[in-house]
Structure 1
């Protein structure tokens, strides 16, 4: 099987061109090739496929084999892959996902190489039942959960997949994300588990965030999680509805929740790492 490794802000996946390749059991394959000691090493597996409703289709599997609805960093890499390799050489792309069709604008350099992409991530979902999260009211901005004797207040948002965001007072760089993230991911309030974001407010237009991803553990970045974090900040009056810079372990993303259409737009890089065969 031929594959390509790519990364967006350090969120690395193995990409397979299913316009040319065919494979079975992607769940098991994701577990095998994601292993950083006995496989290729990645946060998961992404299949780039033909679509009947969009320019192409993306399926993504976490490193534990579970399939996820969407990944903001992966979809930018999908766009770069099909653009740079002339599979679909269009500055405006549509990509089918389990979270619906997403629309992407390609920002290419003078050599016509895709460098950054702006993704229309759609409107954030704030209804508790649709996130889903068990809560008494919507939007869910004051869900109090406790782990190891410490209480956190979460705001819950879906960006096609469930997220629970908490703003902490201490520097997020030294926060024990693994200790608390693995507990909150499987908390009983989240029927489909949840991605957990821990955020620090630098200014109204500048946040720092670390993420514990459902099915993958801590990763260097999460596109949908970054969008959910900015949405949570806006819902809590922390950030305005204008571009917000979010620092992640693997780089920066620019997120804007526009008032004109209610959609969240994510701008960030995508990088080719290497091609291989396994």
Structure 2
């Protein structure tokens, strides 16, 4: 095996051979059941391919995850985060993984405030007390080009049956407000809209039900992954969509299959607060790393 490619960079054979000799450490974390494999690459770059990421995501032959996150060093922040979907494709952001890693770094350093860099930009994170962690996911993208959509249009009312809302949170979101989220066959509804031609980069798909004052019940299909128990960026997107539609205020509780998140759309961005869990640490064996 000559090396691994990430982007345009070819990792040296010596690095690959070291990993194949010693294995690759990782952590398993989750936020409300939205689960992640986290690899710490602050001490040195870690070679990943889409095939290896997908192999790790296999819940029968690998570890399994909704997203994989890599922690990298950053000159102007506490860390840089890089995300991958379960199919091996890259993702610009992942809210719950960001919160999980923020909590991990706070526990490691004793800090109560952090700055993390993602493709989305610089994100502030803080200890919210009571075991909860908050992350500012940045201002929502409301213009069609920023989401992105294929053509110029009103993002508050897409020309799709069901009258969904489009929102960008660093990744695209398509939100449907429905009478009963349990009545939607999300296993077929999700992929049908993930690949809708209005979304050239595909999209996350949410079905949302207003259940009380400033309280939303949401189920989600994540782009490149499928149905998940929770999604941080999706929770931010539905809170923004609901406020824009006038259904709620800008501070809401989002109830997901895995639990609850508090989302607060402020002037400086969309803050998301909830619990996290560091479940276990492990090491991918040299034999496993050599399968892809």
Same fold flag (TM > 0.5): yes
The aligned counterpart of 1:104 is 125
- The reply to whether residue 19 of structure 1 matches residue 42 of structure 2 is yes
The aligned counterpart of 1:6 is 29
The aligned counterpart of 1:132 is 148
Instruction: Specify which of 225, 246, 251 is matched with residue 259 of structure 2.
Output: 251
Q: Is the CA contact (8 Å cut-off) linking 1:226 and 1:246 kept in structure 2? A: yes
Paired residue secondary structure (1:32): helix
Q: Is the CA contact (8 Å cut-off) linking 1:31 and 1:44 kept in structure 2? A: no
Distance in structure 2 (CA, Å) of the matches to 1:220 and 1:202: 18
Distance in structure 1 (CA, Å) of the matches to 2:101 and 2:44: 15
The aligned counterpart of 2:207 is 198
The aligned counterpart of 1:221 is 230
Please provide the CA RMSD for this pair.
1.4
Distance in structure 2 (CA, Å) of the matches to 1:29 and 1:23: 12
The aligned counterpart of 2:280 is 274
The aligned counterpart of 1:177 is 186
Aligned pairs (5 A) from 1:19-38: 19-20=42-43, 22-38=45-61
Q: Is the CA contact (8 Å cut-off) linking 2:128 and 2:273 kept in structure 1? A: no
Give every structure 1 segment of 4 or more consecutive aligned residues whose post-TM-superposition deviation is greater than 6 Å: none
How many pairs are equivalent?
Answer: 261
Cα gap change, 1:262 to 1:91, in 2 (>3 Å): closer
Paired residue secondary structure (1:226): helix
Deviation at 1:135, TM superposition (A): 4.5
Distance in structure 2 (CA, Å) of the matches to 1:107 and 1:234: 23
Instruction: Specify which of 251, 269, 290 is matched with residue 263 of structure 1.
Output: 269
Distance in structure 1 (CA, Å) of the matches to 2:91 and 2:199: 15
Q: Is the CA contact (8 Å cut-off) linking 1:30 and 1:44 kept in structure 2? A: no
Cα gap change, 1:83 to 1:64, in 2 (>3 Å): same
Deviates more, 1:211-220 or 1:126-135: 126-135
Q: Is the CA contact (8 Å cut-off) linking 1:135 and 1:143 kept in structure 2? A: no
Gapped runs of 5+ residues in structure 2? 1-23, 285-292
The structure having more radius of gyration, on CA atoms, is: 2
Deviation at 1:108, TM superposition (A): 4.9
Q: TM-score, normalised by structure 1?
A: 0.90
Deviation at 1:29, TM superposition (A): 2.3
Q: Is the CA contact (8 Å cut-off) linking 2:106 and 2:113 kept in structure 1? A: no
Deviates more, 1:172-181 or 1:95-104: 172-181
Aligned pairs (5 A) from 1:82-121: 82-86=105-109, 89-108=110-129, 115-121=131-137
Deviation at 1:181, TM superposition (A): 0.6
Cα gap change, 1:166 to 1:135, in 2 (>3 Å): farther
Gapped runs of 5+ residues in structure 1? 110-114, 146-150
The aligned counterpart of 2:90 is 67
